[in-house]
């Protein structure tokens, strides 16, 4: 039979463990379903991805620029995706906003201008910028070539966004762009920054 002090200690440990788990349970219920990953979707072993390659040997592009998946949402249970963007020409993406993800960029080569809300920042190799969710942003590559490593947290549907981007001669209408972006957890807000010669 347990003495009263041991019983009190067990009860206290149970209550502390329950209280510690409550915030995590509440947070898990607040994440939109399409962003939530599961523990069985995580990679259980280490892996490496060679330079110039993508995680699953597939090509994902931004325009004609390689945008390789280095770490997939499938590896992290939806918590993180890492891309390596290789810019073969000046320019960048449309003005947009991520509804559920934070984005972090690390410049490997070239120079970039980032517009985040009302702020503008020029970045060069070795610089990092954090873009919080729900803040309008875009960027443009200022040099003829460049390279970025960027992180999406949580992953959301960014891999699917790049896999499913419309290609072809006919440009989508603004309404089609808005619907496509919303289906992937983003808002399309306008055209890219102008490219300067």
Q: How far is CA 98 from CA 7, 31, 129, in A?
A: 50, 14, 15
Q: How far is CA 3 from CA 17, 169, 179, in A?
A: 22, 79, 65
Query: Do 136 and 184 belong to one domain?
Result: yes
* pLDDT score at 197: 77
Token pair for residue 116?
């985040």
Query: Do 143 and 84 belong to one domain?
Result: yes
- pTM here is 0.78
Query: Do 16 and 64 belong to one domain?
Result: no
* pLDDT score at 131: 98
Euclidean distance between CA atoms 144 and 140, whole angstroms: 11
* pLDDT score at 29: 46
Q: State the residue range of the domain holding 18.
A: 4-30
Query: Do 14 and 71 belong to one domain?
Result: no
Query: Do 17 and 111 belong to one domain?
Result: no
Query: Do 151 and 63 belong to one domain?
Result: yes
* pLDDT score at 39: 52
Cβ-contact 111, 88 below 8 angstroms: no
Euclidean distance between CA atoms 27 and 39, whole angstroms: 16
* pLDDT score at 32: 55
Neighbours of 119 (CB within 10 A): 10
- Is the alpha carbon torsion for 110, 113, 114, 120 positive or negative? positive
- Provide the number of structural domains found in the chain: 2
The residue assigned the tokens 């939109």 is 32
User: Collapsing DSSP states into helix, strand and coil, what is residue 112?
Assistant: strand
Query: Do 91 and 22 belong to one domain?
Result: no
The answer to whether position 38 is within a domain reads no
* Sites in the chain below the pLDDT cut of 70: 1-40, 166-169
Query: Do 112 and 176 belong to one domain?
Result: yes
The answer to whether position 21 is within a domain reads yes
The answer to whether position 41 is within a domain reads no
């Amino acid at each position: 039979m347990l003495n009263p002090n041991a019983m009190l200690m067990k009860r206290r440990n149970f209550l502390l463990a329950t209280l510690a788990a409550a915030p995590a349970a509440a947070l898990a219920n607040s994440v939109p379903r399409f962003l939530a990953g599961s523990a069985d979707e995580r990679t259980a072993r280490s892996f490496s991805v060679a330079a110039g390659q993508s995680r699953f040997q597939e090509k994902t592009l931004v325009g004609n620029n390689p945008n390789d998946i280095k770490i997939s949402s499938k590896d992290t249970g939806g918590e993180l995706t890492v891309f390596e963007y290789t810019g073969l020409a000046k320019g960048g993406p449309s003005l947009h906003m991520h509804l559920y993800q934070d984005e972090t960029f690390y410049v490997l080569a070239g120079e970039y201008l980032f517009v985040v809300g009302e702020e503008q920042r020029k970045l060069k190799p070795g610089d990092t910028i954090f873009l919080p969710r729900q803040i309008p942003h875009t960027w443009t590559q200022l040099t003829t070539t460049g390279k970025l490593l960027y992180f999406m947290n949580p992953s959301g549907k960014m891999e699917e966004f790049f896999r499913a981007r419309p290609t072809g001669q006919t440009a989508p209408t603004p309404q089609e762009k808005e619907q496509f972006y919303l289906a992937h957890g983003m808002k399309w807000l306008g055209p890219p920054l102008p490219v300067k010669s």
